[in-house]
Amino acid sequence: MKFSFKNEEDIVKLSPFISVLLGLLFGYVLLFLAGFNPNESFKYLFQGGLKGIADGNYRRIGDTLSQMTPLMLTGISVAFAFRTGLFNIGASGQMLFGGFIAVFIGVKFNLPPIIHPMVAVLGAGIGGALVGFVPGYLKAKYNIHEVVICIMMNYISLWGVQYLSGTFIPGKFDTESAVIQETATLKADFISNIFTGSSLNVGFFIAIIALIVVSIILNKTVFGYELKSVGYNQDASEYAGMNVKRNVIYSMMIAGFLAGLAGATFYIGYTNHIKMGVLPPQGFDGIAVALLGMNTPLGVFLSSFLFGFLKNGASFMASSTSVPRELVDIVIASIIYFAAISSLINGYLIKLAKKMNKGSDK
Amino acid sequence: MWQLLTDIMPYAIMNTIPMFIVALGGLVSERSGIVNIALEGMMVIGAFISSIFIYYYGSNFDNNGVWIAMLVAGFGTAIFSLLHAYASITLNADQVISGTALNMIAPALTIFLSRYLTGSQNINIGRGVNRFDVPILSEIPVIGPLFFSNYYNTTAVMVLLGVGVWYLIFKTKFGLRLRACGENPHAADSMGINVYLMRYIGVLMSGFLAGVGGALFIVTISGEFNGTVSGLGFLALGALIFGKWNVFRVLGATLFFGFMKTLGNVAMVNPTLQSLSLPTEFYNALPYFMTIIALVLFSKNTVGPKAAGQIYDKGKR
C-alpha cells in the first residue's frame, strides 16, 4: 500500500482519522466548558483500556477486546450491507433475536461442551439471518426502503424476544431470562487465565474469523463482486445479467447472520442471559463502526477497537472522576456526525493537498 | 366493552397527541424533501429542554410554566435540528446517516447534561398538566366520555396546531412551494424558488414540532426525564408512512398506534382484555407490524414525496 500526500484518493483515506480527532476534540471542549478537568479525564479514559500491560496484567486490555467483540460483528454486518447499497439499521434487532436463539439453545439443549456453544452460535446466526431476511425480501420484491422496515423489525424483535423469553425460558426475575448451562458458554478458562480474569471469550476469535471470511467473500469471489456491483449501480448490474433481487436478499441475510453472531458473543459469552425490554446498543454502534471503518473489514477491526477501548475506558473514567460515562457516547456519536459530513473534511484535505503540490513543484 | 373503551380512551389520546405532533414534524420535513429519521433524537432533546426548564424556572410561572416549557423546547430543538439541516442540505451528507448520528447523540448528550446539571440521570418535573372533565362537553353522550373526560387541555391546542400545519402546507402558496421542493426540486428551482431555503425551513419546523412533542411526552405521559421517549419518535415515523404523508390520515394512524400502545399497557390489569389472553407484547408489537403491512399494500403506487431523501444537486438535470 503506497500513500502519497499528493494523491487525492489517498488523502481522502485520512478523513476517518480526522473525524476521530474532531470527535475527541469535541468531547474535550465539552468537558472544558462544563468545568471538568479535561486533561485528567482523558488520562483516565485512555488508561482505562490499557492500564497494567506493562506489569503483565492484561485484564484491562482483555476487557477492551471483550467490549470490541460484538462491535466487530455488528460493524461488519452494517458494512457488508452498505457494500450492496443497503443501510442495515436493524443490526440491533437481529443481534437480539440471534442472541435469544443462542440463549434458548444454551438453556434448553443438553449437549457436550464445545458442541453446545457451536450449535448455539450457529443458531444465533440463523436467527439473525431470519430477521434480516424481512427487510431484504421486502426491498427486493416491493422496493420498500430497508431503513423503515429495519426500524420496525428492531421493535418487533424487542417485543417478540421479551414474549418468547418470558414464556419459554423465564428467569428468576421478570426482567431477565434463565441463565444458560455451563456447557454452552463461550467463556474459556485458558483465555481468562492469560488475561487475568477478563471477560474476554472465544467470541473474539469468532469475530476475527467472520472478518476474514467477509473479506474473502467481498474481494475474492464472484458472489462478492456481484454484491459490490449491485451496490455501485443496480441498473447496470441487472443489465449485465446479475440477479439483483436475489443479491439484495442474500446481502441482508448475511448481514443479519453476522449481527446474530454478535448476539451469540454477547449473550452467551458475556451476560449469559437475555435482559428483557432493551435493544442492545451495539447494533447502533455498529453503524458508527462501519462508517468510520469505510465499510472494509480492516477498517471495521480498527474502529471497533477504538470504540471498545473508549467504552472500556469510560467506566474507569466515571469511577475515578465525576465525569458522566455518557461522555464517550457523545464522542462516538459526534464521530459519526463528522464522518457523515466528511465531504467538508475531504474538501479541505484536497485543497491542502493541492497547495502542497504547488509548493513542491516550484 | 363500552366500559373498556371509556377507560382506555383518555390514555390512548394521551399517547396519541405527542406522536401526532412529532409525525407532523416528519411530514413537513419530508414534504420539503429531507428524510428525517432523527425524530426520536429530536424528541429526546425536546423532552430534556422542557424538563430542565421546569426544573429551574417552573415555579416562576405558576400554571403557565408547562406551556412556556413547551415553547422553549420547540425553539431549542429547532436549533438542534440545524445540525441535520446543515449536514443534509448544505453539505449533501446522506440524510439517513446524519439522522442516525443525531439519534445517537441526543440521549448521550442529554443524560450527560442532566447528570452534570442536576446530579442525576432522571429529572422529575413534579407536576405536569392537570387532567379534568370538560364542563358541558363531557356530558354529551358517546363523544363526551370518550374524548372530553379525563381531558388534558393540551389536546385541543395540539389538534389546532395540527390543523394550522395542514393549512400552511396544503392550502397556502408557501406550502405549495415547500411541497414542490420535495416532489421536483429542479422544477421548483426553475420557477425561482430557493430550494435550500425551503428545505431549511422544513427541517427547522420539524425540529420545532418534534421538540414540542418531546415536551408533551414529559408533561403528560412520563412526568420525568430519563433519556428516552420510549420509541415514540420511531412510532411517529411509522405513523407518517401509515398515514401516507397526509395530515388527517396521520392523525388517524397515530390514534390507532396510541390505542394499541395503551392496550399494551393495560392488558395485564383490565379484566376484559385478560379474557382475550393475548400477551402484552402482542399489542406493543402490533403498530410496527401494521406499518410494515401498510408499506407492502402501498408499495404499488408510490405515495411519499418523490424527491425525499435525494440530495439536491443544482447542476444535475
Residue-averaged pLDDT of chain B: 86
Please state the rounded mean pLDDT for residues A3-9: 67
Per the CB < 8 Å rule, is A152 touching B291?
yes
What residues of chain B lie within 8 A of the CB of A90, using their CB? none
**pTM score:** 0.88
3-state secondary structure of B131: strand
Question: In the A/B pair of chains, how many CB contacts fall below 8 A?
Answer: 118
Cell digits of residue B180: 414542490
Within the 169-188 window of chain B, which residues sit less than 8 Å (CB to CB) from chain A?
A: none
Interchain contact A279–B (C-beta under 8 A): no
∠ CA A101-A191-A208, nearest 5°, is 60
Within the 105-144 window of chain A, which residues sit less than 8 Å (CB to CB) from chain B?
A: 134, 138, 142-144
Distance from CA of A224 to the nearest CA of B (A): 24
Per the CB < 8 Å rule, is A163 touching B91?
no
Interchain contact A327–B (C-beta under 8 A): yes
Distance from CA of B93 to the nearest CA of A (A): 6
Contact A280, A39 (CB under 8 A): no
Q: Name the one residue in this structure whose C-alpha cell is 431523501.
A: B309
Give Dmax over CA atoms of chain A in angstroms.
76
Q: pLDDT for B236-260, tens place per residue?
A: 988 888 888 889 999 999 998 888 8
The beta-carbon neighbor of A284 closest among B104, B282, B296 is B104
Q: pLDDT for A62-94, tens place per residue?
A: 889 999 999 999 999 999 999 998 989 999 999
Interchain contact B231–A (C-beta under 8 A): yes
Cell digits of residue B182: 420535495
The CA-atom distances, in angstroms, between A152 and each of A79, A312, B244 are 20, 30, 17
Q: What per-residue confidence (pLDDT) applies to A360?
A: 58
The tens-digit pLDDT sequence of chain B (317 residues) is 777 778 788 888 888 999 999 999 999 999 999 999 899 999 999 999 999 998 888 777 776 778 889 999 999 999 999 999 999 999 888 888 899 899 999 999 999 999 888 888 888 877 667 777 777 777 777 777 777 777 777 888 888 999 999 999 999 999 999 999 999 899 998 888 999 999 999 999 999 999 999 999 998 888 889 888 888 998 898 888 888 888 999 999 999 888 888 887 787 777 777 777 788 888 888 888 888 888 888 777 666 788 887 888 777 65
Q: pLDDT for A195-223, tens place per residue?
A: 877 888 899 999 999 999 999 999 999 99
Share of residues in chain B with pLDDT > 70 (%) = 96
Q: How far apart are CA A72 and CA A74, in angstroms?
A: 6
Q: For residue A1, is pLDDT > 60?
A: no
Contact B241, B308 (CB under 8 A): no
A318 contacts: CB under 8 Å, gap ≥ 6 = A324, A325
ipTM: 0.85
3-state secondary structure of B266: helix
∠ CA B232-B233-B236, nearest 5°, is 85
Q: How far apart are CA A62 and CA A270, in angstroms?
A: 13
Q: What per-residue confidence (pLDDT) applies to A4?
A: 66
